[in-house]
Structure 1
Amino acid sequence: MAGTWRGPFLRYLAGRGLSLAGSTLATVVLACAVLDAGGDAFDVGLVLTTSVLTQTLGLPVAGVLADRAPRRTVVVANAALAVAQTTMGLLLVAAPGRVPVAAFVAAAAVTGAAAAATKPALHGIVVELVPPEARQSASAWQRLVVNVARIGVPGLSTVLAAAVGFGPVLIGAGAAFAAGAVVLATLPLGVVRAARTTWRADAREGWAAVAGRTWLWTYLVSGAVGVPLWLAGYQLLGPVIAAGRPDGLRFWGWAVSAFVLGMLAGSVVALRWRPRRPMLATVAVLLAWPLPLAVLALDVHLAWVLVPMAVSGLALDLSIVFFETARQQQVPEQLIGRVSSIGLLSELVLVPVGYLLGGAVADRAGPAPVLWGCVAGLVGCTAALFAVRDIRTLTWRSEPEAHKVER
C-alpha cells in the first residue's frame, strides 16, 4: 500500500479488525451462553433468527442512511454493539446461569440492527478513502483482516470462556466494539452529498442503480439463490454429516480450518492477481465453490475433504474481492451504500427458507440427497451467469461520479 490514503485506510483496517474481533467473540460465545442459562436448541435458534431478522429489516433503511448521512454512523452502530454486549456480559457475571432467554433475544435484536447500520457504511468508507486504482488491493487487505479474525478468534473465545466464563468474554467483546468505534471516529470522512431528497426517492434511486446494471442485478439474483443453498449445505448439514462420523468433531474442525485457510490464501492471491475482466473471473472461480458439498455427500475420508475445502475457500474469497472491486469502480460513490445494502439483503432474504427446507428434507431423505441438490443448484445458478454478456465483457473502468464527497 502506498499513497496519501494509506494512513487513513490502515486506521480503517484497525477499527474493522477490532469490530470483527468483538463480533466473532460474541457469535461464538452467545449460543453457548444461552444453553448454559438453561435454554434449548429452539432458544438458540430464536436468538440467531432474531439477529438475522432485524438485520434484514434494517438493511433497506441503512443503505439510504449510509448515502445520506456521514458514514460515521458506523461509529454509532459500533457503540450500540458495545453497549449490548457489555450489558449482556454484566448480566451473565451478576447472575450466571439465570439470565432469561428474552435478554439474549433483546441483545440479538440490537446486534442485528447495528450490523445492518454498519455494513453499507463500511462499503462506502472504503470507496471514500481509497482511490479507484487501489481498491482491489484494499479489498484484498480487508479480506485478510476478516479471515485472520475467523481463524484466530473462535479458538481464543472458547479458551477464554472456559477460563473466565461467558460474561467476561462478552464484556471483552463490548470493549473491542468500543475500541473499534474510537478508531473509526478518527477517519477523515465527510458528508456524501449536499442534495436532499425524500427517503423513498433515495431508495428508488438505489434500486434503479442496480436494475440499470445487468451484470450487477443478474449476479445478485444468482447469489440470492446460491447463498441459501451454500449455507444449507455447509453450515446446516455439514455438522450433521460430521456428527454421524466416529471422528465427528475432529473431522469438522479440520474441514472448517481448511476452508478458512483457503479463504486466507485467496486474499493473498487477490493482492497480486488482477484479471482484466473481473466479473468473468468472479463467475469462473465460483464454479469451485460447491466442491465441499460434493465430498461431504460422498462421505469420504478426511484426507479427501481438505483439498476441496481449501480450493472452495480460495475461490470464494477471490470472487468476493473481484466483485467488491468491480462494484466500487462501477457504482458512483454517492450510491454505494444503497447498492451494497441491496446486495446484502438479496443474500439474506431466502436464508431462513434454505435452512428450514434443507433441514426438513434431510430429516426425511437424509443429508446426502440435499447436498447433491445444493451442488446442482450452485453449479446451475453460477454457470447461467456465463450467458450474461455484461458479465463476460466488463473491464476495469470507472464510471464518472456525479457527486463528490464534501469534506
Structure 2
Amino acid sequence: MTVDQRERGALPAASPLRIPAFRRFLLAHLVSATGSAMAPVALAFAVIGQGGGAGSLGIVLTANTVPTLVFLLMGGVLADRMSRSRILFLGNLGAGAAQAAVAVLVATGSATTFAISVCACLSGVSAAFIAPAAQGVASRLVPKEQLQQANALVRVPGNAVKVIGPVVGGFVVSFTGPAWALGWDAATFGVAALLLLGLRLAGAVPSGAGLVADLRTGWAGFRSRSWLWSYTAAGTAVVAAWLAGFQLLGPLVADHDFSGARSWGLVQGAFAAGLLAGTVVCLVWKPRRLMLVCVLASSGIMLPLAALGLGLSLPWVLGAAVVAGIGLDVAIVSWSTILQQQVRDDELGRLSAFNAVGERIAIPVAYLLVAVASAHWSSHRILLVCSAIILLATLANACVRDVYRIRRVG
C-alpha cells in the first residue's frame, strides 16, 4: 500500500518501524555503517603509513570529493527519473569495489598516494549517485508527519555503530594495519546494495524534457527558495572548514599530540556518541522552528576544531566532539525533514543535489589550501581559523528572514 493509503487509515502506522520497507532501509544503513565507521581512521593511516603527510592526505581527499561534485547534478536528475533503489544498488556496489581495491593495495604493500587517489575518485563517483537517491527514500516510505521520526530512526543504527566503530578501527589499524578495516567496509557495501535493491522504488514520471531542461527547472526551484540557497551558501564555508579541519588535520594532530590512531579513534567514537545522542534528541524533541534549529545546531562542530587548535588535553577534545556530534545530528535530521516536507518528490533529487554541490564545492579548495598553508602555519593555527569560519558563517545564515518562516509540518 502507498503512503496516501496509510494517511487515509487503510494501514495505520503509528511508527515508521511498522512499515516493512522502512525496516529494510534501516537494516541496510546498519550493515553499511559497521564498515563505514572504521573507514576514515583506516584511510587516514593508510596514507600516513606509506609516508604521506598533510599534503598526501589532502590529495586523496580531494580526489574523492571532486568526482562527487562533477556528477552530483547528474545524480540528482537521475534520482527524479529512474528507480531510486536501483541507483542505490549500483552506487553501493561501486563504492564497495573501490574500497576493496584500496584494501588489496594496502595489504600487498603496493599503496601509493596516486593509487589510493584513483580508488578514492571511483568512490566519489558512486557517492554522487547515492546521495540524491537516498534523500528521497524516506518520503516514499512514510507519511509526512512521521518524517522527522523516520529520519532520526534512519540515523540510529549508523550512529550507534559509529560509537564503537572508530575505536575498534583505531585498534585494528594499530595492531593489524588498515587493510582489514578497509576490506570489511567493502564487504558491507555489497550487502547493503542487495538490501536496497529490494526496496523496489520506482522513479518519478519523466517530464518528457531533456536532462538539461530538467536541470534548469531544478535550478529555478532552488533559486526561488531563499531558505534553501542561503543555507547552502553558508554550508559552502561550514562544510569545507569542518572537513579540512577535522578530517584532514585531526589525524595529524592526534598523531603528533596524542597516541596516534588509537587516540583519533577515541575522538571519532566520542563524536559518534554525540551523533547518537543527537538522534535521541530528535526522537523526543520536535521544534516548530525547524530551520532555525538546523542553522544554530550545526555551529557546534566548531568546538572540537577549537579544542584541537588550542592544544587542549584529550579529555577536552573528547567532550567537544560529543557536543559537536549532538548539534550536527540535530541539524542533519532537521535538514532532511525540511527538504522532504517542503520540496515535491519529483524535484527532491535535483534540489538536494544542488544543495549538496553547494556545500561541497569549496571542499577541494579547502583541502589544497590547508595542504599549502601547513608548510607555513602550524596545524593548530589552521584549526583555529577553520573554527572561526564556521562561527561567522552560522551567524550570517541566522540573519536570513526565511530561516524563521520554515516550520515543521505536523
TM-score (norm: length of structure 2): 0.85
1:79 and 1:181 in contact (8 A); partners too: yes
Task: Give the unaligned 5+ runs of structure 2.
Answer: 1-13
Instruction: Report matched runs for 1:4-403 at 5 Å.
Output: 6-33=19-46, 40-41=52-53, 44-71=57-84, 72-86=86-100, 89=103, 96-98=108-110, 103-157=115-169, 170-245=182-257, 252-397=264-409
Instruction: Supply the AA of the counterpart residue of 1:80.
Output: G
Deviation at 1:125, TM superposition (A): 1.3
Letter in 2 for 1:237: L
Aligned equivalents of 1:66, 1:138: Cα separation in 2: 20
Cα distance in structure 1, aligned partners of 2:177 and 2:319: 36
- Counterpart CA distance in 1 for 2:106 and 2:258 is 35
Letter in 2 for 1:126: A
Alpha carbons of structure 1 residues 235 and 80: separation in structure 2 relative to 1, 3 Å: closer
Structure 1 equivalent of residue 5 of structure 2: none
- Larger mean CA deviation between 331-340 and 229-238 belongs to 229-238
Q: Specify the SS of the correspondent of 1:290.
A: helix
Q: Deviations over 1:262-290 (max 9, x none)?
A: 11100111111100110111223234332
Query: Measured at CA, do residues 28 and 230 of structure 1 come closer, stay the same or move farther in structure 2, by a change above 3 Å?
Result: closer
Question: Given the superposition, is the C-alpha separation of residues 178 and 274 from structure 1 closer, same or farther in structure 2, using an over 3 Å criterion?
Answer: same
Residue 139 of structure 1 and its aligned partner are, at CA, apart by: 1.0
Q: Contact 1:19 / 1:78 at 8 angstroms: preserved in 2?
A: no
Report the residue type matching 2:25 in the other structure.
Y
- Post-superposition Cα deviations, 1:213-241, rounded to whole Å, max 9, x if no partner, equal 11111011000011112223333333444
Alpha-carbon distance between aligned partners in 2 of 1:163 and 1:297, rounded to the nearest angstrom: 28
Letter in 2 for 1:376: A
1:68 partner SS: coil
CA contact (8 A) 1:55 1:112 kept: yes
**What letter matches 2:79 in structure 1?**
A
Question: Number of aligned pairs?
Answer: 395
Distance in 1 separating the partners of 2:313 and 2:216 = 51
Change (3 A) 1:175 1:288: closer
Structure-2 change in CA distance of 1:246 and 1:30 (3 Å)? closer
Give structure 1 stretches of 5+ with no counterpart. Answer: 399-407
Structure 1 residues 196 and 389: alpha-carbon distance in aligned structure 2, compared to 1, 3 A threshold: same
Which amino acid in structure 1 is aligned with residue 281 of structure 2? V
Decide which moves more: 205-214 or 373-382: 373-382
Task: Kindly provide the CA deviation profile for residues 244-303 of structure 1, in whole angstroms up to 9, marking residues without a partner as x.
Answer: 536666654544332221111001111111001101112232343322233333333334
Question: 1:202 deviation in Å?
Answer: 0.9
* Cα distance between partner residues in 1 of 2:265 and 2:172: 18
Task: Call closer, same or farther: CA 1:33–1:305 in 2, change over 3 Å.
Answer: closer
Residue 92 of structure 1, CA deviation: 6.2
**In 1, Cα distance between equivalents of 2:160 and 2:22:** 18
Aligned in 2, Cα 1:190/1:104: closer, same or farther, shift over 3 Å? same
Q: What do residues 377-402 of structure 1 show as CA deviations (whole Å, max 9, x unaligned)?
A: 2222111222211111212239xxxx
> One-letter code of the match for 2:210?
T
Question: Structure 2 counterpart of 1:77, which letter?
Answer: G
User: What is the CA–CA distance in structure 2 between the aligned matches of 1:253 and 1:3, rounded to whole Å?
Assistant: 33
Deviation at residue 321 of structure 1 after TM alignment:
0.9
CA contact (8 A) 1:67 1:334 kept: yes
What is the CA-CA distance between 1:326 and the residue it aligns to?
Answer: 0.7
| Structure 1 residue 63 displacement after superposition | 0.8
Deviates most, 358-367 or 217-226:
358-367
* 1:348-393 deviation digits (Å, cap 9, x = unpaired): 1111222233344454343444333333322221112222111112
- Whole-angstrom distance in 1 between the partners of 2:277 and 2:166: 19
SS in structure 1 of the partner of residue 83 of structure 2: coil
Alpha-carbon separation, structure 1, partners of 2:251 and 2:38: 20
Query: Offset of 1:39 from its aligned partner?
Result: 6.2
Distance in 2, Cα, partners of 1:397 & 1:124: 17
Q: Is the 8 A contact 1:67 1:337 kept in 2?
A: yes
Contact 1:39 1:101 survives alignment (8 Å):
no
